Amino acid sequence: MSSIIHGMPTRSDPPFKIIATDGDARAGVLYTPHGEIPTPVFAPVGTLGTVKALTTQQLQQDIGATLILANAYHLHLRPGAELVAEMGGLHHFMSWPRPILTDSGGFQIFSLAHDAEIDDAGATFRSHIDGSLVRLSPEDSIRIQQRLGADIIMCLDECSIPNERERVAIAKNRTTVWARICREMHPDDDEQLLFGIVQGGIYEDLRQQSVSELNEIGFPGYAIGGLAVGETKAEMHGVLEITLPLLPREKPRYLMGVGTPEDLLKGVRRGIDIFDCVLPTRLARHGSVLTEKGRLNLRNRDFRSDETSISASCACTTCRQHSRAYLRHLIVSRELLAHTLLSIHNVHFLIQHMNQIRQAIADGNFASYARSFLANYTQSNNASSLRE
């Protein structure tokens, strides 16, 4: 049974409003300086200020994206947050008028930086671009994100391999230390929404401790980090079941780096509001597309003379204008247009999936929609890393 919550917010109201619920699934609106974000929402990843192979016009008009993610670590290394600020901020720099969320760089230190040395004051590492020595503190991360001008920003956190308890405990404790520093740098009336990040690997007690510590500090929103980094799907979903009931109901919840169609459903079912993932554009670059029945590899010779669109139920410009045969031709010919056309479809597919989920919550039939979707969709087996 769906519960509809009426009333429009005033300027003095909190930035997140729940509009309807269906079980633990929520439909809401997140208010930002660059517009409203209907939730639950999927954010395409624009790590370097660009969603790979797509223009901002395509993201707005052809795909309907309402939020994109950019990365403070990458933009700090190149072209530099100072330059972006001089150019009018990231929105102006990349000609994107809608909301932007920036990741703090914690995951990239974990996955990309060479010879990283981490202490309670920050991280020292070698740039993956040129090998130069870089120091990133919690204060640096906040200053970088302030210069970029994102609408939603993240505390610097330490990510670790999820099933090595001693390392996970150290990372969890350090994440809390850094969260306090980040929160002290963030004025209560700041229009940028600062999210604390829950860590703790796959361990119930560490996740509970992390939530308790972050709740005590207090944030406008909360992210769940340290997932989609090698654990199983069952472990990931178990962490969500442990963590989400402990977070403030009235605050938005963001599951970082997760975006398969089935995981979007399962995350929403447990109360997640925001998702991001490189999945749709990465699949496109490898010749694969998402459909309501699962993934298709368009490199397959079976599609050589297939006149049908990727999906008869899809209204994206790629499906309206091009056949599987043509798309396969572009892929095997290594034409760059293939990346664009497949990315349009894949990102559109996930955003429409979220639109349908949001409508199902409002209509009180989310469980029915989820069952129907999962009955037809061939799922992937593992929560392998899909982050950059």
Q: 357 lies in a domain?
A: yes
Residues 268 and 322 in one domain: no
Last residue of a domain, one of 249, 283, 317: 283
Report the alpha-carbon distance of residue 147 to residue 319 in Å, rounded.
Answer: 39
The pLDDT assigned to 250 comes to 98
Residue 266 has pLDDT above 50, yes or no: yes
Low-confidence winner among 59-63, 147-151, 383-387 (lowest mean pLDDT): 383-387
Share of the chain above pLDDT 90, in %: 87
Per residue in 24-38, pLDDT tens? 999 999 999 999 999
Last residue of a domain, one of 257, 283, 309: 283
Residues 270 and 310 in one domain: no
- Please give the structure tokens belonging to residue 115: 């010879």
- Ranges 89-98, 104-113, 379-388, most confident: 89-98
Q: 381 lies in a domain?
A: no
Mean pLDDT of 4-11: 46
Low-confidence winner among 6-20, 126-140, 164-178, 287-301 (lowest mean pLDDT): 6-20
Q: 349 lies in a domain?
A: yes
Per residue in 215-238, pLDDT tens? 999 999 999 999 999 999 999 999
Residue 191 has pLDDT above 60, yes or no: yes
Per residue in 128-142, pLDDT tens? 899 999 999 999 999
Q: How far is CA 79 from CA 47, 137, 140, 156, in A?
A: 12, 19, 16, 20
Residues 362 and 215 in one domain: no
Residues 81 and 188 in one domain: yes
Q: 388 lies in a domain?
A: no
The pLDDT assigned to 115 comes to 79
Judge whether 274 and 283 are in contact, CB under 8 Å.
no
Report how many domains make up the chain.
2
Share of the chain above pLDDT 70, in %: 94
Report the alpha-carbon distance of residue 358 to residue 375 in Å, rounded.
Answer: 19
The pLDDT assigned to 12 comes to 61
Residue 54 has pLDDT above 60, yes or no: yes
Q: 203 lies in a domain?
A: yes
The pLDDT assigned to 226 comes to 94
Q: 385 lies in a domain?
A: no
Report the alpha-carbon distance of residue 340 to residue 217 in Å, rounded.
Answer: 43
Residue 382 has pLDDT above 60, yes or no: no
Q: Which stretches of the chain are DSSP H helices?
A: 56-57, 72-77, 81-86, 90-94, 106-111, 138-148, 165-184, 204-217, 233-243, 261-270, 279-285, 317-321, 324-332, 337-363, 366-376
Residues 272 and 311 in one domain: no
Per residue in 302-324, pLDDT tens? 999 999 999 999 999 999 999 99
Residue-range definition of the domain harbouring residue 298: 286-376
Q: What is the CA radius of gyration of the chain?
A: 20
Mean pLDDT of the chain: 94
Give the confidence band of 385 by pLDDT, cuts at 50, 70, 90. Answer: very low
Mean pLDDT of 294-298: 97
The pLDDT assigned to 388 comes to 56
**Residues with catalytic roles:** 103, 276
Residue 13 has pLDDT above 90, yes or no: no
Per residue in 55-67, pLDDT tens? 999 999 999 999 9
Give the confidence band of 9 by pLDDT, cuts at 50, 70, 90. Answer: very low
The pLDDT assigned to 157 comes to 97
Residue 303 DSSP code: G
Last residue of a domain, one of 283, 306, 325: 283
Residue 381 has pLDDT above 70, yes or no: no
Q: 382 lies in a domain?
A: no
